[in-house]
Amino acid sequence: MTKKQSLGRGLGALIPQMIPEYSLEDKEVNEPSKLAEEGILKLPIDRIEAREDQPRKKFDEDSLNELKESIIEYGIIQPIVVRKISDNYQIIAGERRFRAAKLAELEEIPVRVMEMDDQSIKEVALIENIQREDLDPIEEALGYAQLMEDYSYTQKEVSERLGKSRSYIANAIRLLGLDPEIKDALRDKLITPSQGRTLLSVKNKEERLKYLEQFKAKTLNIRDVEDAVRNSNDTAKTKKSSKKSKKNETESIYKKDMENRLISHLGTKVNIVEGKKRNYLEIDFISYEDLERIIDIIER
């Protein structure tokens, strides 16, 4: 499976282009009744099975019932994508529609039969899962991270696959670095992803959780936190600068004292020179006789 085709318009933008369809004349798929539209068949629902390694494990019951009512009224608008496994067909994409169709007690459902290997199916299923509208921000971020881990994608390649900007993917993944309490608030939609990313800039955990509660209570906005972080950073820089200044002042006094002691002891001008890699002494002497004198003093 190539990495460069976009899924920004949905799985339909990927699957028909990538995988050859079974022909309607193919003996293997000529058994079920056919729809008029080329490439789409109707299969008995009892010949379709879900995959055990489907990344989506939980299906909201209320949402399934709503879809069931829609199917009863309008039918299945978008066919389920399947592949042939022995005498049955395995779902590649569309398990939620399949489950709702079973609840609606349909006997046949429209499908598109494709040829895909196990690795390709896992990737398509993962991408389909990421494209769900009901994902919370943490589920979405975990999906991007899983694509990067399982298929060695870069953030740029994930953005190309899903038709989203690189910055969108990067910002989503950043949320995984939040504290568990903040992730839970994102899952429960008590705060927004923008508020979550703002909390990432707060270095102190106790302050992060304090701002989290204020976000949840709607007594604080993003600008307030940004201003607080900026002021805190400015204060820290001022303290650091002041501390460095005091340190330099102390070192300067210490250095001058040692120079004066050496001058007094050797009877000549002495400078302590601090270099990038090493330090050294500069000792002045008038003549070699004066140097002999200085050496005598040092050797005593």
Q: Are residues 238 and 251 in the same domain?
A: yes
Q: Across residues 196-221, what is the average pLDDT?
A: 92
Q: Are residues 35 and 71 in the same domain?
A: yes
Computed over every residue of the chain, the mean pLDDT equals 79
When pLDDT is cut at 50, 70 and 90, the band that residue 246 belongs to is low
Q: Are residues 110 and 44 in the same domain?
A: yes
Asked whether residue 7 is domain-assigned, the answer is no
Asked whether residue 204 is domain-assigned, the answer is yes
Q: Which residue did the predictor score with more confidence, 79 or 27?
A: 79
Asked whether residue 108 is domain-assigned, the answer is yes
Specify whether 108 is catalytic.
no
When pLDDT is cut at 50, 70 and 90, the band that residue 243 belongs to is low
Q: Across residues 13-37, what is the average pLDDT?
A: 42
**pLDDT(13) > 50:** no
Domain C-terminal end among 61, 87, 115: 115
Q: Across residues 106-124, what is the average pLDDT?
A: 83
67-75: long-range pairs with CB below 8 Å, 24+? 67/96, 67/97, 67/100, 68/100, 68/101, 68/103, 68/104, 70/100, 71/97, 71/100, 71/101, 71/104, 71/106, 72/104
Reported as half-sphere exposure (CB side, CA atoms, 13 A), residue 266 has a value of 23
For residue range 121-133, list pLDDT tens digits in order.
Answer: 778 778 877 877 6
- Which candidate, 109, 102, 153, 101, places its Cα nearest to that of 127? 153
Q: Are residues 188 and 229 in the same domain?
A: no
Domain C-terminal end among 189, 220, 251: 220
Q: Across residues 41-62, what is the average pLDDT?
A: 78
Q: Across residues 261-287, what is the average pLDDT?
A: 83
Q: Which residue did the predictor score with more confidence, 112 or 56?
A: 112
Q: Which residue did the predictor score with more confidence, 237 or 202?
A: 202
Reported as half-sphere exposure (CB side, CA atoms, 13 A), residue 109 has a value of 33
**pLDDT(237) > 80:** no
When pLDDT is cut at 50, 70 and 90, the band that residue 9 belongs to is very low
Q: What is the pTM of this model?
A: 0.56
Domain C-terminal end among 60, 90, 115: 115
pLDDT at 297: 81
Q: Which residue did the predictor score with more confidence, 185 or 65?
A: 185
Q: Are residues 40 and 98 in the same domain?
A: yes
Q: Are residues 254 and 198 in the same domain?
A: no
SS3 call for 91: strand
Asked whether residue 281 is domain-assigned, the answer is yes
Q: Are residues 24 and 110 in the same domain?
A: yes
Specify the number of domains making up the chain. Answer: 3
Domain of residue 79, residue span? 20-115
Q: Are residues 215 and 257 in the same domain?
A: no
Q: Are residues 212 and 286 in the same domain?
A: no
When pLDDT is cut at 50, 70 and 90, the band that residue 117 belongs to is confident
When pLDDT is cut at 50, 70 and 90, the band that residue 94 belongs to is confident
Asked whether residue 238 is domain-assigned, the answer is yes
Asked whether residue 168 is domain-assigned, the answer is no
For residue 52, give the CATH number of its domain. Answer: 3.90.1530.30
Q: Are residues 238 and 272 in the same domain?
A: yes
Best-predicted range by mean pLDDT among 32-41, 236-245, 267-276?
267-276
Percent of the chain with pLDDT over 70: 79
Q: Are residues 216 and 200 in the same domain?
A: yes
One of 38, 95, 140, 226 is an active-site residue; which one? 95
**pLDDT(47) > 70:** yes
Asked whether residue 63 is domain-assigned, the answer is yes
Q: Are residues 215 and 254 in the same domain?
A: no
Chain centroid offset of residue 184 CA: 16
**pLDDT(194) > 90:** yes
Written as one letter, the residue type at 266 is L
Adjacency order of strands within the sheet including 108-113: 40-44, 108-113, 80-85, 88-93, 48-49
Asked whether residue 149 is domain-assigned, the answer is no
Least confident of 92-96, 168-172, 174-178, 197-201: 92-96
pLDDT at 95: 85
d(CA 278, CA 139): 54
